[in-house]
Amino acid sequence: MFSRLKIFTGNANVELANEVAKYAGIPLGDAEVFKFSNDNIFVKINENVRGADTFILQPTCYPVNDNLMELLIMIDALKRASARNINCVIPSFGYARSDKKDQPRVPITAKLVADLLTTAGASRVIAMDLHSDQIQGFFNIPVDHLYSAPIFVRYLTANHDLSNAVVVSPDTGGTARARAIAKRLNCSLAIGDKRRLGNDDKAEVLNIIGDVENKTAILYDDIIDTGGSLAKMSKALMDRGAKKVYAACAHGVLSGNAIENLEGSPIEKLYITNSIPLSPEKKKCKKIVQLSIAELLAIAIKKIHIEESLSNLFR
């Protein structure tokens, strides 16, 4: 049944790719992906893929442009090697926050990336926790949008007393996301009202809508980048009487002074997935707990291959 299923990876997150292949019970495909001394990327598929159902696991995380180019070139290599399907598994979608024209004379880069993937020859995209649902509509090929919420729900339920917990969305834009996980955890919901002051990492918390006093607050968002917003929100929650603050974010970008911001905040634990690999320095941070999405991705890949529904993965 799975003899024509092949999983390949670039260099973005080899550890996750190996874990996915292990869960799927399929050896990782043999491919060379490296840079020449002139900075050009080279790809060679070292096994027969003619007529195969191929999956490329490659988050377009830091270094975003290198990882994106690796993915595009791998698509082209598989297309020219006569693969039947080329499915792109992109756990973390780079440029996802450039999803609208919110200022004069700016691009919609997420749409551009969608066009590049489609033009290169991708048959399907499997993404996880996209910054906005509208990105699915940027593609003219099927998009399967997976969510890490069930993984967080399972972990939080098993490791925390949630009898007096509140899920907090850092801003109004993430309300639907936070409401969905609050419902699963049977918790109340609060919403942060913040105003950005120019750069993405500078935000001022104006108010918190909802009751957080004497409660365990769980900040829930799709991305933690520099961590400035979450740090300020966690301090605002403590100022308003929260007993403890935890944070859960699907994608741990953790750029710039994120670790410093996290260490200096009241956040006791930051739960993230392994959609983006952690550097050895970041792994030293005792506040960070990384949860694996490998089993989720492996199940999705096998279901897509045998043309089964993915709906039970959202439960």
**Residue of 14, 257, 252 lying closest to 148 (CA atoms):** 252
Distance set, CA 248 to CA 91, 111, 147, 276 (Å): 16, 27, 13, 14
Distance set, CA 261 to CA 125, 129, 235 (Å): 34, 23, 11
Q: Which residues are catalytic?
A: 194
**Residue of 241, 234, 271 lying closest to 254 (CA atoms):** 271
Buried b (16+ CB within 10 A) or exposed e, 174-212: beebbebbbebbebebbbbebeeeeeebebebeebebeb
State the helix-helix crossing angle for 294-305 and 14-24, rounded to 10 degrees: 60
Q: Please, which residues have CB within 8 angstroms of residue 47's CB and are 6 or more apart in sequence?
A: 6, 29, 30
- Residues 299/312, Cβ–Cβ less than 8 Å: no
Q: Could you give the count of Cα atoms lying within 13 Å of 42 in the half-sphere of its Cβ?
A: 9
